Amino acid sequence: MSIIGSAACAGSSGSGASSPAATAAPAERKYLLERVDDAAVVQLYADGFAELPLKEKTLVWHLYQAALAGRDIFYDQRYAHGLEMRDVIEAIVRSKNAGIDPATYAEVLKYTKLFWINSGPFNNLTARKFVLTTTPEAFAAAAHAAEKAGARFPLKNGETLDQLLARLQPMFFDPNVDPMVTNKTPSAGQDILASSANNLYVGVTMKDLEGFKEAYPLNSRVVKDKGRIVEEVYRVGGRYDGEIRAIVQHLEAAIPYATEPMANALRALVKFYKTGETADREAYDIAWVQDKASPVDTINGFIEVYLDARGIKGGWEGLVFYVNREKTTEIQKLAQNAQWFEDHMPWDPKYRKQGVQGVTANAIDVVLETGDSGPVTPVGINLPNDQAIREHYGSKSVSLTNVNDAYDKSTLPEFRSEFSWTPEEAARATKWNALAGDLTTNMHEVIGHASGKVEERLKGNPQAAIKEQFSALEEARADLVALYFLPDPKLVEIGLIAKADQDEIVRAEYEAYTRNALVQLRRVRQGTQIEEDHMRNRQMIVRWLMANTKAIDVRSRDGKTFYVMTDPVAFREGVGKLLAEVQRIKAEGDYSAAKQLFETYGVHFDPKVRDEVVARVDRLHLPSYTGFVMPRLEAVREGGAPSGAIADVKISYPEDLSAQMLEFSAATRDLRQ
């Protein structure tokens, strides 16, 4: 499970107050590179990479290639037309000097940047489609100019450029064709799969799946073909054969440079990619979770289930990272005390786990994120998602230190002042939100997701009972654990915060969490409901507290709405009550209670308030979400020959989204088909 990052968003952004000396950044380097509509584009830095020994750099190099090799899988999973559309707009963007009308070129470039940031034509947070704002005629003229200048388009056999453009016109221009990538709450009578435009199901409804048992739940596309339901398995020889073969080849090249526990995990992953069998995926999960000490690690596969309205199919992602030692010491204090926190959870003692084990917590610096994890990246990750493996073998948590740092460094100060009721509140946010955000992210991952147990009869699989409500419920549970323990003296005792600061840190975090329920509405510019699971969970918690405690006031001044946290004691008490109920719902698999909780507090909102928030952020030009430009690696070969042994791996920072995305797309072009 991952926490999606967002600037100035409690529980998901921020960094420690100090940077480790070894990774001190040049003062004047660029974080915020550009604004594209309501997205910010930010450069990610991985300062510790240059100091890694050559063996680890070489390992990272091969894993980086493996993460790139799968990038296009996620584009295709998100939308069946995604790669074709990307080929068309990239052909135009590459033809800057082809005599294309400058206004048209600028529009196509803007659309293409949004397309890259969101891995297709659907907004990452709202799940809604965005469209080209040129006319189809101007778009066609640009394409023809590009073709004349030598650009290649993805023409099917015998197809002309005009036929291609006509075929894709509804996808580029019509917001009502495939309007949402994932729709968990369609209007009455509509099916969650049929009304979701993603490519995880073809012609299949929930009704079709009644009584159908998937053999490959996580890693298959389900297709209805002449009335028959078929699973197309993601594996070597199956769907995405070309990409998966390349991933396997790079993983195999990485194995000689890995520690023994990591090599075991990589071998298990290769086996899973070859067979696609659930038993092999489980073996991989176990091997991965048992590798607790390797300095370099990767996540590569079909992992998170947010893209699927059913919450079953995994979106492909690739992450490569190394451990940030200094920051890791802090997190490990939480992990070492995991049993203490478990024993003090405010829920029914029968849902407390005994012998909490294997919570491995690392602060990491990311070198590359692709697919479901980049360019829009989480700030914290806890895996594996398989509940049975979590209960028997534990889980690994990582906090993405350099991502948090880049969020913090690129946040505009107006963000905090505009939505704070008093200057003191804004000052508290500036002073403490980075530290508090780091701490709550770590608690969310390390003692949140890893906690609690469910009733035996659910067989370690509460997802199956709680269905499309599960992800949001589980994110809420982890957030609530962090909010609940933040004021606890235990945090002072284990040295995570100073006693003198704790009250102010708690207040700053509760205020920020409360404000966020209002501020996050800026991301849902159309419609009146929230789709993204982390946003649902945060909305639900704050609105539940408003309805059931006296901790939060809704105030207004000069026609502006403010959510004001007034009573931290009442806030914490409410959090404890809600957490007990959320854990009960998960443990019992109480679907109807989960649905009612989110339908009442987490999904629907007042569009008038949203419009006001949007007007306020637009007036200040504040971004709604962030896409990251990743570090770039280059292998230096002995003798300069492509086949020579790797003598060094150089890291650099492109500071240019377009250059990086065009380079990535070119690198994997041959793997398709």
Binding site for Zn ion (CB under 5 A): 1, 3, 475, 478
Residue closer to Zn ion (CB basis): 69 or 363: 363
Residue closer to Zn ion (CB basis): 2 or 298: 2
Alpha-carbon distances, residue 454 vs 117, 347, 594 (angstroms): 37, 12, 15
Residue closer to Zn ion (CB basis): 478 or 579: 478
Q: State the nearest-atom distance from the C-beta of 303 to Zn ion, in Å.
A: 13
- Phi, psi (rounded to 5 degrees) for 108: -65, -40
What six digits make up the tokens of 166?
């006509």
What six digits make up the tokens of 356?
């909490």
Residue closer to Zn ion (CB basis): 356 or 613: 356
Residue with tokens 């070198």: 367
Residue closer to Zn ion (CB basis): 405 or 475: 475
User: What is the rounded distance in angstroms from the CA atom of residue 176 to the CA atom of residue 372?
Assistant: 25
Residues 251, 269 contacting (CB under 8 angstroms) = yes
DSSP 449: I
Q: Which residue is nearest to Zn ion, using beta carbons?
A: 1
Residues 83, 129 contacting (CB under 8 angstroms) = no
Q: State the nearest-atom distance from the C-beta of 442 to Zn ion, in Å.
A: 11
Q: State the nearest-atom distance from the C-beta of 535 to Zn ion, in Å.
A: 13
Q: State the nearest-atom distance from the C-beta of 432 to Zn ion, in Å.
A: 22
Q: State the nearest-atom distance from the C-beta of 3 to Zn ion, in Å.
A: 5
Residue closer to Zn ion (CB basis): 204 or 478: 478
Q: State the nearest-atom distance from the C-beta of 210 to Zn ion, in Å.
A: 30
Q: State the nearest-atom distance from the C-beta of 533 to Zn ion, in Å.
A: 9
Residue closer to Zn ion (CB basis): 196 or 382: 382
DSSP 236: T
What six digits make up the tokens of 418?
């505009």
Residue closer to Zn ion (CB basis): 378 or 623: 378
103 CA to centre of own chain: 33
DSSP 150: T
Helix axes 499-519 and 607-619, enclosed angle (nearest 10):
110
Q: State the nearest-atom distance from the C-beta of 384 to Zn ion, in Å.
A: 13
- In sequence order, the β-bridge partners of residue 649 are 635
Q: State the nearest-atom distance from the C-beta of 576 to Zn ion, in Å.
A: 19
Residue closer to Zn ion (CB basis): 360 or 665: 360
How are beta strands 395-400 and 560-565 bridged, if at all?
unpaired
Closest CA to 397 of 369, 359, 438: 359
Query: Which letter, b or e, does each residue of 21-33 get, where b requires 16 or more Cβ atoms within 10 Å of its Cβ?
Result: eebeeeeeeebbb
User: What is the rounded distance in angstroms from the CA atom of residue 295 to the CA atom of residue 47?
Assistant: 15
